[in-house]
Structure 1
Amino acid sequence: MTITPLVWGVTIAIIIALLAIDLIVAAVKPHRVGFKEATAWSVFYIAVAIGFGVWFTYTFGGELGTQYFAGYLVEKSLSVDNLFVFVIIMTTFAVPEKHQHKVLTFGIVLALIMRAIFIALGATLLSLFSVVFLLFGLLLIFTAIQLFRHRDQDPDIEDNVVVKGARRLLPVTDDYVEGKLTTRIDGRRMVTPLFLVLIAIGSIDLLFALDSIPAVFGVTEEPFIVFTANAFALLGLRALFFLVQGLLDRLVYLSTGLSLILAFIGVKLILHWLHVDINPAVPEIPTLVSLGVILVVLAVTTVASLIKTRNDPSAKAHAGSIRAHKPKPSEGSDTHR
C-alpha cells in the first residue's frame, strides 16, 4: 500500500486540529465535564473514526479496511485500560475536577507522540528484520501472562520511579495554583502537583505504548493504519473518561479479556514469523478472524462483567498490573474478582 504525502499530511492535520480543539477548550474554560457533553464528544470521535474507516475502505479496499477496523478495535480496548490508570492517577493526586480535562488532553498528546516514535521504530525494524515479529509476539504473550496473573491489582503510581525521582528533585507546591504547571513563591520557582500528574501519565503512556504498538502490528504491517488506529482511538479517550468513569468499576473482567486478546495477537505474530522465515506451510490467522475474535472477547468480557457486578455489587474492577506490588491497607478489604 502506498500512501501519498498529501494523504499523510491531511490526516495528520485533521488529528492536530482535533487535538487543538481539545486543548483550547481545556485551557480557555476549565470546567467539570458533564454526562451530556461527554456523550456528545464520544459520539463525535467514534463517528470520525468510523467515517475515516469507511473512506479508507472505499479508497484502498476491503482487506486494508478490515485491518484498520481491527487495529482501531484493539487500540480502543487497550485505551479503556488506560482509563483505569488515569482514574488511579487522578485519585492519587486528588486532581480537581475542573483540571481533569486539561490533564487528560495533555496525556493524550504525550501518548500520541510516544506512539508515533514507536510506530516509526517498529515499522523500520519489521522491514529490516522479520525476526522482530517473533520478538513482538513473545513480548505480547509475556505481557498477557503478567496481566492475567496480576489482574486483581492496580499499578502503584506512588512507586513509579519517575514520579519518586521528581518528588525528590523538584520543589512541589501544596495546591494546584489554578491549574498552573509552575509558579513562583517567595521568589522561588516551584512546580505544582499538576506537573507531577503529567509526569505520571507520561511514564504510564510509555509503558502502554510498549504493549499497544506490537499489538496493532499483529493486526497490520502498514504504518499508516497503525498510526491512524492509534490516533483515532486516543482522540476519543478524553471524552470516554468522563462518560464511563462511573462505570469502570463494573468492568471486572476487562483485564482478563485484554490478556486474552494480547495472547491471541502474540500467537498470531509468532505464526506469521514461522510462515515467513521457517516454513510457508505454517498457517496464518486471517485479519477477519482476528477481528471476530477481538469482538467476541470484548462482548463476552463486558456481558460477564455486568452479570458479575449485578449479582455481586461489592465486586470491583482493577486495571491489572504487569508486576506485583504489595497491596495498600485499604485494598485488603476489597472484594476482588
Structure 2
Amino acid sequence: MEKNIAKSKKYAYPITWQKLKAQASVQLVAILGILFFLVFSYIPMLGIVIAFKNYQLAPGIMGIINSEWVGLKYFNEFFNDPMFWPVVKNTLLLSSLKIIISFPIPILLAIILNEVKNQKLKRFSQTVSYLPYFISWVVVSGMLFAFLNVQDGLLNQLLFFVGVIDQPIAFLSEPRYFRTILVLSDVWKNAGWWTILFLASIAGIDPTLHEAATVDGAGRIRRIWHITLPAMKGTTVVVLILCLGNMLGGGLGGSNFEQSYLLGGSNNRMVYDVSVILQTYTLEMGLKAGRFSYAAAIGLLESLFSLILVYTSNYLAKRSSGTGLF
C-alpha cells in the first residue's frame, strides 16, 4: 500500500506555477497576443460612447467625459441622411456581387488543383494563385491604374490593336465599369488564398474512398460530386458564414474599403455615386468633416448589423446542414 502511495506521488501532476514555468515561452507568446488585442481591439471599444454624445475633440479622454449626452440623435440623423440609401445600396450591391462571384471560385480552384497529377505543375499553379494575396491593395490599385489608363494603358492599346475600339475608354472613370473592376480584382487577389482552406479539407479525404469508387466504375466527375464535394461541406458552410458576416466589408476578402477608397470615393468624383460605401462615408464624416460622433454612430450600426448577420447565418446553417461556426 505504501509503495503504491509513493508511486502515485512520484508521478503526480506538477502544480500550476510549475506548469507555467515549464511553458514560459509559450505563455509569453500568448500574453503578447492578448496584449495586442487588448490594446488595439478592446480598449478602443470604450470610444463607442461618443456615438451617444456630442463629442468635442480635446486632449486625452476629457473630450469624451465632458461631452454632452445626446442619446440616439446621430443614429436618427443617419437614417434621415440623403446619402443613407445610396451608401447602403452601394455597400450591399458590391458585397453581394463579390460573394456570388468570388465564393464558388476557390472551391472550383481547389478541386482543379487537387486533380492535377503532375506535382511540379501543381506546385507552380498553387504558387501563382496564392501570390496576389500578398500584394497590398495600394500596389494592386497602382497596377490597375497602369493597366486601365486611358492614354497608354495596356488594355486600351490591346483593344485598339484588335479593332474592338477606335477611341480609348476611361475604365476607372466610367460608373458602368467600376463595380466590374472591383469584383474581378478582388477575385484575382483573394481566390488563391481561400483555396488553401478547401484544399486542406480535400486532403483529409480517405484515399480508399476514391479507390473503391474507381473500382466500382465511377468516373472523375462522379467521384468529385459524391466524395470530394460532401467532404468540403463543413469548410464551405463555415466560409459562407464568414462571408455573410462580413457582408458590409466585402465578403471573403473584406476589401470594400481599400478598393473603394483607393479607386473611387472622394478621390475619384467621376465614379463617386457608385463607389461611396459605408466605410468610405464614415471616413469622410469622421476625419475629413470632423463629425466624430456621427461617424461613430455609423460605425456602431455597421458592427451591430454584421453581428446580426453572423448569428443569423450561423443559425440557418445549423438548422439546414447541422454544421455551424459555433
Question: Greater relative contact order (Cα 8 A, min sep 6): structure 1 or 2?
Answer: 1
Query: TM-score, normalised to structure 1's length?
Result: 0.29
**Bigger-Rg structure (1/2):** 2
